[in-house]
Chain A
Amino acid sequence: MKTIVKSLLAPRKYFMQGNIACAEGALAAGCRYYAGYPITPSSEIMEHMSIRLPEVGGVFMQMEDEIASICSMIGASWAGAKVMTATSGPGFSLMLEGIGYAVMTETPCVIVDVQRAGPATGQATKPAQGDVMQARWGAHGDHRIIALSPWSVQEMYDLTIKAFNFSEKYRVPTILLADEVVAHLKESFVVKPEIEIYNRDKTLTETPFGTQEEDGVPPMPCFGQGAQLLVTGSTHNEYGIRKVADPDVQERLVTRLCKKIDNHKKDICLTERYFTDNAEYLFVAYGISARSSYAVVSELRESQINAGLLRYITIWPFDEETLKECALEAKVIFVPEMNQGQLVLEIMRILPHQKVIPIPKTRGEAIYPSDIIKVFRKYHE
């Protein structure tokens, strides 16, 4: 249910680190349980939560590892709390089985992945965008998640709130796919007096795991409410009864888990366009890479070059329609990413007949405007 609440922080302009803004966004959204395991570059979120949660009557737990973190938060979510954990690549890998479990049991929860340079331990303090595909496909089995990509401290706050709202509304794990730069960046941002939040529907029901519609989201009563919940990560019918060999139940469940996201893309998919009308050179970017792209596009526009930027705020599910619209007139489409080319694969798939040029960077550094300009010049006659 949608409601308007007062912000926890006094409304004004703040100068804050991205990680702290994320934690404050979570608290504002109503997060009252956090479980985590320390890892650079996400630890400030956990440290801040450890101080702030007790102040607002919430619970903070430092668990023995990331597996325990995600599992305990799923347990807490069923006990009725809004829950979050934060980590980085190595911990995110450990959380994948739990993410799959949350998908299957339709448990609202928010996972913040502050991406750092990998694989493995990689460069702990250095940024990357290498977990884009892992976020989408990491958990085994066919499934959907929602992933949002913040590009500023403002969005570390705003999108954390959005992540909670989507997660509660669609009963799906929602990933805030941040990176070391936005996490440690300090900049000014605004806290508004009121925010819109969404609280899950806790109506008592016999069927908390199924709906008549093939894309519906059932209500979610919590433990202790008398719903006699049968929560299981095994295939189950609408009552929660395990059906581990029934093809119809398996099909119906997996279809709904996917369609409840796919059929609500209009609500979930957030993008932003800058000068994309008739853009000959289209930049498609997300997260901190979109900041550099925006700088480039502004500069090109000043030199009368028809460049535009399509920024993905929601990266999963992927908004295909908006991409097609913005790419109509595009001669070249550039996709700068702090990886060897991940989201660009999706773009190439959707625009098979257009010139799509990846701008990869895996130096443990952000993509700077100069990196993008360098590639652009090769294609601009």
Chain B
Amino acid sequence: MSEHLYKYLRTETFPTPFCAGCGHGILMGVILRAIDELKLDFKKMVFVSGIGCGAWIPSPHFKTDTLHTLHGRPVAYATGVKKANPELKVVVISGDGDLAAIGGNHLIHAARRNVGLTVICANNSIYGMTGGQLSPTTPKNTKTMTTVMGNPEEAFDLCKLVKACGAKYVARYTVFHTKPLIKAIKTALNTDGFSFIDVVSPCPTQYGRRNQLPTLYDMYAFIKNRLVHFDALKKYKKEELAEKIIIGEYRDED
């Protein structure tokens, strides 16, 4: 991580616990760069996370107030923080299982209420921390510890879901898209109301390994081949989009 970001970090807690090839470290840096570029008052920011590898991005690494909560509940906690003190800038960073499975209800209701939160989903399409079980964003047909024959279920498009619930700003990028991702995070942090960013983050250890994608490079290629930009959606038929990862800002469809 570049040195000018050290002031935001408890460097004594380094190295981070993330595995080789994990995208969560990149995401950590990207979030801090967005904050740095916006010159936000870090002391007045609160980072709320649930339980999982993604939840460890802010806690204990960020050198400000962090609230490491229960599995699935960070959005509910964050709602309380924000409502009790609206002057605080409240950001949720947590995993896909945390935000979309056990915490899915809180996510959609916070979007509907338009609580002034930015929620960043560190989406590795897997339960990383508990050993690689199916998550609601695991792509169809791919393998996990609990779907050894391939996932028979459809995955959530979290952006579409949250957008439909009324979120003011919604975007998805992968950790390989650092520039547009920083821009999106900045937009999210400046949004008056509920904003959501789904960040595709590779997990070679728990997801890749079981899908013949054991290295970061394999995961990169796998992700890259599936990318479609939101603005280019019209060029595709619905069936063609089944396995795609849609990136870009989700705008209101007209």
Contacts and interface: CB of A to CB of B under 8 A. Distances in A.
- Given a CB threshold of 8 Å, the question of whether A touches B is answered with yes
Interface of A: 32-33, 35, 59, 61, 63-65, 67-69, 71-81, 83, 97-98, 101, 223-224, 226-234, 240-242
A73 B78 CA distance: 10
A228 B63 contact: yes
Interface of B: 13, 43-44, 46, 48, 59-60, 63-70, 73, 76-85, 87-88, 105-106, 109
Nearest to B112: A64
Given A77-B84, A79-B85, A83-B80, 15 more contacts: A33-B80, A61-B80, A63-B109, A64-B105, A67-B76, A74-B77, A75-B82, A79-B88, A81-B84, A223-B46, A224-B44, A224-B88, A226-B43, A230-B68, A233-B68
B81 A76 contact: yes
14 contacts: A61-B83, A67-B76, A71-B73, A71-B80, A73-B80, A75-B82, A75-B84, A76-B80, A76-B81, A79-B82, A81-B84, A224-B43, A233-B69, A240-B60
Contacts of A226: 43
A224 B81 CA distance: 10
Given A224-B43, A241-B13, A68 B83 contact: no
A75 B59 contact: no
A51 B78 CA distance: 23
Contacts of B81: 75-76, 78-79, 223
Contact of B59 (A35, A77, A227, A232): A232
A176 to B, nearest CB: 20
Contacts of B43: 224, 226
B105 to A, nearest CB: 5
Given A75-B78, A79-B81, A230 B60 contact: yes
A80 B60 contact: no
Contacts of B65: 78, 223-224, 227-229, 231
A76 B69 contact: no
Contacts of B87: 224
A97 B63 CA distance: 27
Contacts, number: 123
Nearest to B87: A224
A77 B63 CA distance: 20
Contacts of A98: 70, 73
A61 B79 CA distance: 9
B184 to A, nearest CB: 25
Contacts of B60: 230, 232, 240-242
B105 A233 contact: no
B113 to A, nearest CB: 9
A64 B83 CA distance: 15
B43 to A, nearest CB: 5
Contacts of A81: 84-85
A75 B68 CA distance: 10
B13 A232 contact: no
Nearest to B74: A71
A171 to B, nearest CB: 15
Contacts of B78: 75
B46 A224 contact: yes
Nearest to B109: A64
A98 B82 CA distance: 18
B84 A59 contact: yes
A232 B68 contact: yes
Contact of B76 (A33, A75, A77, A79): A75
Contacts of A32: 84
Nearest to A68: B76
Nearest to B46: A223
A211 B251 CA distance: 51
B85 A229 contact: no
Contacts of A72: 76-77, 79-80, 83
Among A75, A79, A230, the one with the most B-chain Cβ atoms within 10 Å of its Cβ is A75
Given A72-B76, A230-B60, A241-B13, A33 B70 contact: no
Nearest to A72: B80
Contact of B64 (A59, A69, A80, A228): A228
Contacts of A241: 13, 60
Contacts of B59: 230, 232, 242
Contacts of B66: 229-232
A227 B67 CA distance: 13
B116 to A, nearest CB: 13
Contacts of A35: 80
A65 B105 contact: yes
> 7 tightest CB-CB pairs across the interface, nearest first?
A75-B80, A72-B80, A76-B84, A76-B80, A75-B77, A79-B84, A71-B76
A240 to B, nearest CB: 7
Nearest to A234: B68
A79 B80 CA distance: 8
Among B13, B66, B82, B84, the one with the most A-chain Cβ atoms within 10 Å of its Cβ is B84
B67 A67 contact: no
B109 A68 contact: yes
B15 to A, nearest CB: 15
Contacts of A78: 65, 67, 81
A71 B79 CA distance: 9
Contacts of A224: 43-44, 46, 65, 85, 87-88
B83 A71 contact: no
